A and B are shown apart, each in its own frame.
Chain A
Amino acid sequence: MTRLVDGAPPLSAVQLDRIAWRRRQSIRSILVAAASTAVLGVLLVVAVTGAPGWDRVRASFLDPSIAADALPDILRGLWLNVRLLFFCALGSLALGLVIALLRTLRGPVFFPVRALATSYTYTFRGLPLIIVIYVLTLGVPGLRLQGMPSVLVLGGAALVLTYSGYLAEVFRAGIESVHPSQVAAARSLGLTYRQAMRHVVLPQAVRRVAPPLLNDTVALQKDVGLVSLAGPIDAVRAAQISTAEHFNYTPYIVAGVLFVLLAIPLIAVTDWVTLRAARRQAGR
């Protein structure tokens, strides 16, 4: 007799039959999935490699020797992307949180602060990133001020300005999703508005919006490359230079593959956090 736990009653014939049937079903599902994947894969390969222009495309997009030649420059550019991503992500998260908090302040004294924070999110969500980058990296140095930071820093600032506008709205949505009864409970215990925000509202809000915050970070990862418009050489710009040298598009494919590889850990973390949040809400 099959027993699940020592001491548990033996399973009935009906239950054993159910278990056997489910096992047969799952084996069948795996076989069907494998077969359909194989068929689709073969069809794709045949369709692409069988196309009349395949040899030309392969020569101009998938040349291994050019890929090897371009790789060091592209990697050097990618290192710039990684550094920029790190600092810009931290900067936008911090600035976004501050702006979201300023928008929640009450009282007449804070009216100008509230209005400023609100117009900030309107402006920088509406303004194309490329224009912000141009204004900061080309316009601001034109002022010829003392101690002007490098173009790279100015470009990073443009990214932070734009992305903190988006992140501020995500944070605000999180803050507003915390039920007012939580604030009432905190205030009734004698916590000040600021303490209630810090210890009760924000921890719950940030947990709730972690998935969309990380999602915006993944988008930022692709946009950091736009600072190359102002001169610094990122991975895409390095690929562009290499493409012009070889008169071959393979470097773009190399850069594309590297970007996907870079995004995988971040996307995996996002999925994991989303899953955990869903589990938590289900009370497991």
Chain B
Amino acid sequence: MTAVLSCQGVRKVFGEAVVLDGLDLDVAEHEVVALIGASGSGKSTLLRCVNLLEEVDDGMIHLDGAHITDPRVNPDRVRRKIGIVFQAYNLFPHLSVLDNITLAPVRVHKRRPAEAREQALALLARIGLAEKASAYPDRLSGGQQQRVAIVRALVNSPRLLLLDEVTSALDPELVGEVLDLIRDLKADGMTMVLATHEMTFARQVADRVCFLDAGRILEQGPPEQVLDNPVEPRTQQFLRRLAPA
């Protein structure tokens, strides 16, 4: 089985700071990989590099075997195959929920508006937000906005879904509804890479947990192994600090 995503020796430098330092990561089809690690360990930067929102400073990233960090590759074509959901939702405030979702299908994938609308409404119904279709994002709760953002990324049928701290900006009682949706996606077989601070969630949904430290994957494996019996002292220290919370 070839990997959907393959990162080899990825390096990213911001000024003096080396954020990613020769990072390697392969993600197989239908696999869910959780990236954990302290703030600044490079989780978000890795996701932004995969989506070509940041240029890598060395190394290669392949998507379905195609080299996407080649500067001759059209980034717009690559991004059409990858969905990303941000911590701050980043919904378009001037568009209704429905128009947020159908913007890319209609403008990028040249789908018929009526057809895109129907698909969007069906997805909204599935996440229980059908009655919010014509509402504007500022009338929705944080959890509802984040679920709409996930649907907006899904409607393009991406090969890979990147989730960047999608519950970090949410009130605790709203986290559950977003995590439920992600659990459903896993059941549907969506290949996902998620950066998260929610260890319980990483344990429930991830096939593999990767602990990032100083721009590399220091330790990885099944959740119970990495989270319960970490080998590396840095991992143990990180998890110990989280433990009381």
Contact = CB atoms under 8 A, between A and B. Distances in A.
Contacts of B109: 190
Contacts of A200: 92, 103
B94 A184 contact: no
A190 to B, nearest CB: 4
Nearest to B48: A184
Interface string A182-224: 1011111111100100011001100100000000000000000
Given A190-B80, A190-B156, A203 B94 contact: yes
Nearest to A184: B53
Shortest 9 CB-CB distances between A and B: which pairs? A190-B80, A185-B90, A189-B104, A190-B108, A188-B84, A190-B79, A203-B94, A181-B90, A283-B138
B151 to A, nearest CB: 12
B227 to A, nearest CB: 30
Contact of B94 (A190, A207, A283): A207
A203 B84 CA distance: 23
Contact of A181 (B88, B94, B103, B153): B88
B228 to A, nearest CB: 35
Interface of B: 51, 53, 75-77, 79-80, 82-84, 86, 88, 90-94, 103-104, 107-109, 138, 152-153, 156
| Majority secondary structure of chain A interface residues (helix, strand, loop or mixed) | helix
B140 to A, nearest CB: 11
Interface in A215-263: none
A40 B32 CA distance: 76
Contacts of A199: 103, 107
Given A184-B53, A204-B94, A191 B86 contact: no
B90 A184 contact: yes
A192 B88 CA distance: 22
Interface string A54-77: 000000000000000000000000
Interface residues of A, number: 18
B48 to A, nearest CB: 8
Contacts of A186: 92, 103
B103 A189 contact: yes
A191 B90 contact: no
Contact of B107 (A184, A188, A195): A195
Contacts of B77: 190
Contacts of A207: 94
A273 to B, nearest CB: 15
Nearest to A179: B90
A187 B153 CA distance: 12
B164 to A, nearest CB: 10
B88 to A, nearest CB: 6
A187 B53 contact: yes
A283 B138 CA distance: 7
B130 to A, nearest CB: 22
A187 B79 contact: yes
A241 B103 CA distance: 58
Given A185-B86, A189-B153, 15 more contacts: A181-B90, A184-B53, A184-B90, A185-B92, A187-B53, A187-B79, A188-B51, A189-B103, A189-B104, A190-B76, A190-B79, A191-B104, A199-B103, A203-B94, A204-B92
Given A184-B53, A199-B103, A283-B138, A189 B90 contact: no
27 contacts: A182-B92, A184-B53, A184-B86, A184-B90, A185-B86, A185-B90, A185-B92, A186-B92, A186-B103, A187-B76, A187-B79, A188-B51, A188-B79, A188-B82, A189-B79, A189-B104, A189-B153, A190-B77, A190-B104, A190-B109, A190-B156, A192-B76, A195-B107, A195-B108, A200-B92, A200-B103, A283-B138
Nearest to A185: B90
Nearest to B104: A189
Nearest to B89: A185
Contact of B156 (A181, A189, A203): A189
Contacts of A204: 92-94
Contacts of B90: 181-182, 184-185
